[in-house]
Amino acid sequence: MTDPKILLVGCGKMGGAMLQGWLADAGLGPFVAVEPGPAAAAAHARVCQVADAAAIPAGFVPDVVVFATKPQVMNDVVPAYRRFAAGALFVSIAAGTTIATFEKHLGDGIAIVRAMPNTPAAVGRGISGAYASPAVSPEQRALADRLLRSVGAVEWVASETLIDAVTAVSGSGPAYVFLLAEALAQAGAKAGLPAELAQRLARATVAGAGELLHQAPESAEQLRKNVTSPNGTTAAALAVLMAADGFGPLLERAVAAAAKRAHELAR
């Protein structure tokens, strides 16, 4: 599709990050962003920002409508865009909001992709899990893939039900990593390091390990083994973290809780 018209509903942190990625692609646009408040990404010559759906310029018929608002307000927001249902592809990045919910407001058989990006999208290193409804054409799926890849990698799943698990692993996952850096810094301070030094060490360690994981051909398991000398300091720490009540089971419970909450948000 050449120069697809894109309507972005919600230009907060995630919506704004995605818009920044789209603006780097000269083959996308024009863009209209529906955002009542200030939005740095929308203050661009290629973007027309409006306060609500009623203010969308007359004659602007989008090829894609991207919903990037909070799931709690979707039932109030979505109905205003039913007028575009005949020909547009809809893309939602709202946790828990099902295709059935969108069909209730937009009509049966709409072309919709549910996607779950994550916050590293802000630096072009995100990853999105995505599911396309049966009505999505190959051309529309390719366009959705292009939009999502503008801010990172994309993995397509075969069932909508898997989106809750994607949300729990990669959608919420950056927060788990940030908590790891936070807790590592606090542990370093308790071990006697100055707090600011502990924070710098923890932050650089998590960021560096993540980049090594990104670039290395080995699995995460093998990279862990590479760092661990028998009977060494790392082995002593891992004996705690890998205990029966350690990091693995704790993270399993955390992911299960996030997936359960995503399911509860479904409506």
pLDDT digits (tens, 9 = 90+) for 68-89: 998 888 889 999 999 999 999 9
Whole-angstrom Cα distance, residue 173 to residue 185? 19
pLDDT band for position 207 (cuts 50, 70, 90): very high
Is the Cα torsion angle 171, 174, 177, 182 positive or negative in sign? negative
Q: Is the pLDDT of residue 265 over 90?
A: no
pLDDT digits (tens, 9 = 90+) for 147-166: 999 999 999 999 999 999 99
Q: In this predicted model, which residue has the larger pLDDT, 17 or 41?
A: 17
pLDDT digits (tens, 9 = 90+) for 46-61: 899 999 999 999 999 9
Q: Does domain 6-163 have CATH number 3.40.50.720?
A: yes
Residue at 156: amino acid letter: W
Determine the average pLDDT of the residues in 163-182. Answer: 96
As a whole number, the mean pLDDT across the chain is 94
- Please name which of 28, 102, 100 lies closest in space to residue 64, comparing C-alpha atoms: 28
The C-alpha torsion from 79 through 107 and 137 to 2, rounded to 10°, is -40
CATH 3.40.50.720 intervals, the chain: 6-163
CATH level 2 (architecture), domain 173-265: Orthogonal Bundle (1.10)
Based on its alpha-carbon atoms, the radius of gyration of the chain, rounded to whole angstroms, reads 21
CATH 1.10.3730.10 intervals, the chain: 173-265
Write down the pLDDT at residue 9.
Answer: 96
DSSP of 62-82: -SEEEE-S-GGGHHHHGGGGG
Determine the average pLDDT of the residues in 188-212. Answer: 98
Sheet holding 6-9, edge to edge: 47-50, 31-34, 6-9, 64-67, 89-92, 111-116, 126-132, 152-156
